[in-house]
Structures are given as C-alpha cells and as structure tokens.
Amino acid sequence: MKILKNPAPETWSKKLARPVQKSKQINKIVKPILRKVRRNGDKSLLKFALEYDHVQLEELLVSEAEINASKAKLSPELIDAIQVAKKNIERFHKAQVSEELVEEVMPGVICRRKSMPIQKVGLYIPGGTAPLFSTVLMLGIPAVIAGCKEIVLCSPPDRDGNIHPAILFTANLVGITKIVKAGGAQAIAAMTFGTETVPKVDKIFGPGNQYVTAAKQLATGFGVAIDMPAGPSEVLVYVDDTANPAFVAADLLSQAEHGVDSQVVLVCKSKKFAKQVLSEIEEQVEELPRKDIALKALKNSVAVVMEDQEQAIALINDYAPEHLIIALENEDEVVNEIVNAGSVFIGDFTPESAGDYASGTNHTLPTYGYARSYSGVSLDSFIKKITYQKITAKGIQSLGPTIEVMAANELLDAHKNAVSIRLNYLKNNKK
C-alpha cells in the first residue's frame, strides 16, 4: 500500500484508479450462458450446476424440509445475532414508508402520487468464498415491507447440493420460501428469462462476482431492471491524527478481505499517521484467515496524505466511495460537505462492519464511482411511484387554455383538440 502526499487534482483519477474490469472478455463468457438458459431453461441450470458448482442436482428448488432443518444447524449465538440485525434493519426500512401525496395544484386539478410495489423481484445471494446471509436481510426485508407479490432467491449450492443453512434460515425468517439452487450468471439468466422452476422477474438485486455483475448489466437489455451497476467492494477512510491507527487499519482490512479486486483508500493529514496505520495493517493482517486475499487487495490500494481539508473533501467527492468512514475532530463539518458516497460511517466507534450487518442501514451500495449518480438499496428500490390526476369540469375550464396554447406551439393539434372538444362541450351544455 503506497503513500502519496498531496497529489494534484489532475492526477487523482489515475493514482486512485480502481482495478480494471475486463468487461469484453467477461461478456464473451456470460452471453452464451444467457442464451443457453433462455433456450433450455432448467436443463441448462442443472448442467451449469454440474460444470461450475461440481454437483449433480436432482431438484433446483430448496425443499420445505431443507428450510425447516436449517435452524438446527446454526449456533444459538448466530440465530440471536441474525434476529437482532433483522429487528434493526426492519425498523429503519419501515420508517422509509411514505404517505400518498395528494395536492390540488389549482382549483379542480388534483394530482396524486402513490407508491406501488414492484410485483416480481429476484434476489441474488453469493455463496462462494463467503455465504452472505446478511444480504438476505438487506434485500429480503425491504422487499417484504414494500409488498412485492413474488420474491425469488437464487444462491449457488455447495458440492453436496446444499445452500448454506444461514442463508436458508434467514430467508425463511424474513418470509422468503422460493429459494433456487443456482449461482453465477446462469442464476441471473434464469431470473431474466424465466425457466420451468424460476419465475421471470421485473427487477434483480444483489452483489456477486464479475460474471454476475456482467449478467445483471446484460439483463437490462431484455427489459429487466437491476438495483445498480456494481463492482468490487471498497472503502475510503478519512481521519486526522486524533484517530486510533488500530481502528483505521482494522476498517481497511475489513474491506480488503472481500476480494483480491477490492480497493481500500486512506486519506489522512500526516505521513507519520499513515505509517502508523500501515504498521498496524502489517500486524493485523497476519492474524486473518483471508490474509492472502487481503494482501492482494492492498496492492490495489493507497494512502493519501492530504494536509488541506478542502482538497481532501474534493478528492473524496471525486472518488465517490462505496463506504466512507470519517473520524475527525470536526467530523460534523466535514460530513456536511460530502455529496458522493454510498454510505457514511461517522466517528471512532462506527466501523463499516456495523452497516454491513446490523446497524439498520442497507449494505447493498454503489461501487466503482457510481455513488456520484446512484443510491444504495432502500425501500424505494422495491417500489415505483405512480402519479394520478383528476380534473373536474371547473378544472379543465381553468387549465384548458394553457394546454391549448402549449400544444398548438408544439404543432400537436390532436393534443390541443383533446382539450378543445371538452371545452366546447362544456360551453354548449351550460345549465
């Protein structure tokens, strides 16, 4: 992890460049998978399970018996932890429910906006190097609160044909029972096109490797929405010399262990502090089971010494991190200047891990700079807003002339006539 001191703004994009995504090569692999699943349905899913997951499946759907047996395979401590996390996430997402908006914009012209759930959603839950049962909470809870009519969850099976029991238990806990043993791009294809077992959905959610990400982006070409474009996980930590170097190192490593293509960035005010953090990283990484992954990720990473606060904030907003940790004496002042970040963690005792698991906010966030234009997953991700308007006779008489003038000047005479015919009717039928 190299140290940069006061890099010039014109060098930021190059010096903080994320690992390159080889999209062309990946799409060459993913596109045939989508075609095969579209053409052959369940048959292709079973074949890909054998090819990629090395398991001969008899059934794609997880049985009720498998779901019911999952709880007994988990420790009481994990069950309690999942339930606490569920309570917090549920509470925060229920608070996001908005009332129907009704506004009479002028006499007789009433406009409404109402939230409606997306009817069919697909949730992808990785199960490879880390079975992300926490993501079941993050996606399943808002989907249920929103009232989505059909929710299907796809996750890859292990070599015994099983999905991790924590994923099954958590899915059942939040109310999801349609669980499919399918992973990778083939799972995304199944939810995009539908198969004999997997329903075609309207929107696909969830993280995944580069093949899953590519498949989701290709799915948008077939009329299926996705939560957001995404890449490898990342964190930027902005601190001053009052921060605890051990805490900072731990936060950086918590993201570095996600994958070899993850990136972590430290922004601090002195080279001395940066070196203290790097020393802590060297010590802490030795104790990690995923040490090799973290060390490879650190090669993509950088520490930036930025003495000027205004420049540091500009760099952060330019980078637009997925996760942003701020631990400064004047943290409130700085937080108010942040405009580009997926989720912000404030203070010495707010590790990014809290948001990943149990604080209540959602951990499905935009990466790769997409925080400039995308929000993380929330209740809003599972709903759509429908607008309504009701115009009375008095209302059309008041508003109609405005519409006629605008339509005529756009040379859309049929639009104008749709108003004029009503105005003439009212004029000729006065009582």
Spatial contact of 132 and 163, defined as CB atoms under 8 Å apart: no
Q: Please check if 186 is assigned to a binding site.
A: yes
What is the pLDDT at residue 194?
97
Q: Is residue 7 part of a domain?
A: no
The answer to whether residue 227 scores a pLDDT higher than 70 is yes
User: 218 and 69 in one domain?
Assistant: yes
In this structure, of 17-21, 65-69, 219-223, 263-267, the range with the lowest mean pLDDT score is: 17-21
Identified catalytic residue from 257, 322, 331, 352: 322
CATH of the domain at 275: 3.40.50.1980
> Per the domain annotation, does 142 fall within a domain?
yes
Mean pLDDT, to the nearest integer, of 191-196?
97
Half-sphere exposure of 139 (CA within 13 A, CB side): 27
Closest C-alpha among 34, 3, 1 to residue 304: 3
Does 410 count as an annotated binding residue? yes
pLDDT of residue 22: 74
258 is in an annotated binding site: yes
**3-7, 100-104, 231-235, 377-381: range with lowest mean pLDDT:** 231-235
Does 210 have pLDDT greater than 90? no
What pLDDT sits at residue 23? 77
Say yes or no: 212 and 284 in one domain.
no
Q: Which is nearest to 142 in space by CA: 380, 324, 412?
A: 380
Is there a catalytic annotation at residue 282?
A: no
Q: pLDDT at position 431, please?
A: 60
- 129 has a pLDDT exceeding 70: no
Q: Are residues 367 and 268 in the same domain?
A: yes
Same domain flag for 396 and 359: no
DSSP per-residue letters across 170-233: HHHHHT---EEE--HHHHHHHHHH--SSSPP-SEEE----HHHHHHHHHHGGGT-EES----S-
User: In this structure, are 186 and 276 located in the same domain?
Assistant: no
* pLDDT, averaged across the chain: 95
Query: 165 and 264 share a domain?
Result: no
Does the residue 169 lie in any domain?
Answer: yes
pLDDT for position 391: 97
- In whole angstroms, what separates CA 42 from the centre of its chain? 27
Does 263 lie in the same domain as 149? no
Residue 105 half-sphere exposure, CB side, CA atoms within 13 Å? 14
Q: Quick one: 79 and 166 in the same domain?
A: yes
Is 380 a known ligand-binding residue?
no
The domain boundary residue, chosen from 170, 196, 227:
227
309 annotated to bind ligand: no
Residues 28 and 75 in one domain: yes
Domain-terminating residue out of 210, 227, 244? 227
Structural domain includes residue 143 = yes
Over residues 148-166, mean pLDDT: 95
Do the domain assignments include residue 191? yes
Q: Binding site annotation covers 233?
A: yes
Q: What is the CATH number of the domain that holds 420?
A: 1.20.5.1300
Place of tokens 């399918």: 182
pLDDT digits (tens, 9 = 90+) for 350-391: 999 999 999 999 999 999 999 999 999 999 999 999 999 999
Whether 53 has a binding-site annotation, put simply, is: no
Q: Give the number of domains in the chain.
A: 3
Residues 234-251 pLDDT 10s: 999 999 999 999 999 999
**317 neighbors 17 (Cβ within 8 angstroms):** no
Residues 132 and 29 in one domain: yes
Same-domain pairing of 362 and 419: no
Question: 164: annotated binding-site residue?
Answer: no
Domain assignment present for residue 112? The answer is no
**Catalytic annotation present for 322:** yes
Active-site residue, selected from the candidate residues 93, 257, 280, 323: 323
Q: According to the model, what pLDDT value does residue 382 have? A: 98
Annotated ligand binding at 54? The verdict is: no
| φ, ψ of residue 27 in degrees (nearest 5) | -65, -30
Q: Where residue 430 falls among pLDDT bands split at 50, 70, 90?
A: confident
Phi, psi (degrees; rounded to nearest 5) at 262: -75, 165
**Residue 298 pLDDT:** 93
Q: What is the pLDDT of residues 44-94, one digit of tens each?
A: 999 999 999 999 999 999 999 999 999 999 999 999 999 999 999 999 999
Q: Is 356 annotated as ligand-binding? A: yes
pLDDT digits 0-9 by tens, 381-420: 999 999 999 999 999 999 999 999 999 999 999 999 999 9
Q: Specify the amino acid at residue 113.
A: R
Q: Which of 171, 195, 227 is the last residue before a domain boundary?
A: 227
332 occurs within a structural domain? yes
Answer yes or no: do 418 and 367 share one domain.
no
110 assigned to some structural domain: no
What is the domain range of residue 397?
A: 392-428
